[in-house]
Amino acid sequence: MQDKKIGVGIVGATGWVAGEYIKAARKNPYSQVVALCSRSREGAEKIQNEYGLACQIYTHYAEMLKQENLDLVVICTPDFLHAEQGIQAAEAGKHLIIEKAIALNLKDLRALQSAVNQARIKTVVSFVLRWNPMVNLLRSLLAKDAIGVLFYAEVDYLHGRREHYRSYEWSRKIATGGSALLGAGCHAVDTLRYLVGSEAIEVMAYAGGYDKNYEYPPTIVTIMKFKNGIIGKVGCSREVRMPYMLPIKLFGSRGSILDNKLFSETLFPGQTDFALIPTNTPSSGDVTHHPFQDEVNHIIDCILKDQTPQPDVNDAVMTHEICLAADLSAKEGCSVKLPFP
């Protein structure tokens, strides 16, 4: 029986996604929120009162990390702070949930990976679509050879960002937002990796777009060759004018999958059209629609059972390497081999 609850501290406590982690930690019977950290004490106290939390309030992250009953840190700050704050949490011996992107360049990515491995802490990177019901349904169909041998897969991230988004100002800049893939499309890249079940060995990309408010090309198309021979494609655009979409297309030797629509010569001989499978799809960019509860439950369970969570930082590094390779390919006009040295 677990007597002591795992103490959860959230940095970036007034951010868009932080509330979902607070709700998830409160609902888990083995965890409790013990600390909130924000640049504004007033803002953190407002969140504390909103959720009825009995916790400590901090305006300095380093001070929060000294709290003795703090076991798990959740990093919800802007992307350019993630690597440094993740390293600090690791050095303090705290387990870690870290929002994407975990780093905006290869140097910081390697430094974070080294720090968490040296500290031997549990980590989860918030590629939350790994807990999406449709994504895991597709994984099970692939495992059952529902469409035969998978040879080509597409996952796109199409989400037009407007000025009213709280993160818009920093996310559109190279120094603080990285790129279209690092700041957003990495969800599609990770989902592709998760479904393909292999690692990319070569990447080629083209980038462009029309929205000059972005310091980087807001639209990028990336082609990947995987170690198991599968060809993959990720299209990502932060400037499209349409509702959020994350379409998934999988093509195999005996069938195809288009989101939650299945055509399978193996399971349904004589099938003449796609069959619709009712399930929850990754069809919204609103964080309230994403399965953060499952993500938090997963790392809490792994901490209690001393198991390795997934995707941890080591796994997420491979997703980020694809994004960095794509950005390099688009810039240099050539393919990039992976893994990086």
Residue 196 lies in a domain: yes
Residue 153 lies in a domain: yes
Which pLDDT value is given to residue 150? 98
Whether residues 139 and 278 share a domain: the answer is yes
Whether residues 91 and 144 share a domain: the answer is no
Report the candidate in 189, 191, 188 with the shortest Cα–Cα distance to residue 142.
Answer: 191
Chain mean position to CA 341: 24
Q: Is 120 left (phi over 0), alpha (psi -120 to 50) or beta?
A: left
Residue 238 lies in a domain: yes
User: Whose structure tokens read 């949490």?
Assistant: 89
Cut 0.85: pTM above it: yes
Which pLDDT value is given to residue 288? 56
Q: What is the 3-state secondary structure (H, E, C) of 239-261?
A: CCCCCCECCEEEEECCEEEECCE
| Separation between Cα atoms, residue 258 and residue 154, nearest integer Å | 10
Counting runs of H as helices and runs of E as strands, what totals does the chain give?
A: 12, 16
Whether residues 310 and 323 share a domain: the answer is no
Which pLDDT value is given to residue 166? 76
Which pLDDT value is given to residue 286? 60
Residue 202 lies in a domain: yes
Whether residues 138 and 274 share a domain: the answer is yes
- CATH number, domain containing residue 191: 3.30.360.10
Whether residues 241 and 329 share a domain: the answer is yes
Which pLDDT value is given to residue 4? 85
Whether residues 78 and 168 share a domain: the answer is no
Whether residues 326 and 297 share a domain: the answer is no
Whether residues 197 and 331 share a domain: the answer is yes
Pairing of strands 231-237, 150-155: parallel
For 76-119, the pLDDT digits (tens) are 999 999 999 999 999 999 999 999 999 999 999 999 999 999 99
Which pLDDT value is given to residue 262? 98
Residue 1 lies in a domain: no
- CATH number, domain containing residue 38: 3.40.50.720
Which pLDDT value is given to residue 15? 82
Residues of the chain with pLDDT under 70: 1-2, 284-289
Whether residues 158 and 216 share a domain: the answer is yes
The β-bridge partners of 231 are: 152, 225
State the residue range of the domain holding 139: 133-284+319-337
Q: What are phi and psi of 265, to 5 degrees?
A: -70, -25
Name the strand (E) or helix (H) holding 286: none
For 132-181, the pLDDT digits (tens) are 999 999 999 999 999 999 999 999 999 997 777 778 899 999 999 999 99
Query: What is the tally of structural domains in the chain?
Result: 2
Whether residues 298 and 330 share a domain: the answer is no
Whether residues 246 and 209 share a domain: the answer is yes
| Separation between Cα atoms, residue 234 and residue 300, nearest integer Å | 32
Which pLDDT value is given to residue 337? 98
Tokens of 209: 């777009």
User: Whose structure tokens read 């393909």?
Assistant: 196
Q: Residue 219 carries which side chain, given as an amino acid letter?
A: T
Which pLDDT value is given to residue 167? 82
Whether residues 301 and 325 share a domain: the answer is no
Residue 325 lies in a domain: yes
CB contact at 8 A, 37 and 21: no
| Separation between Cα atoms, residue 219 and residue 228, nearest integer Å | 28
Which pLDDT value is given to residue 1? 43
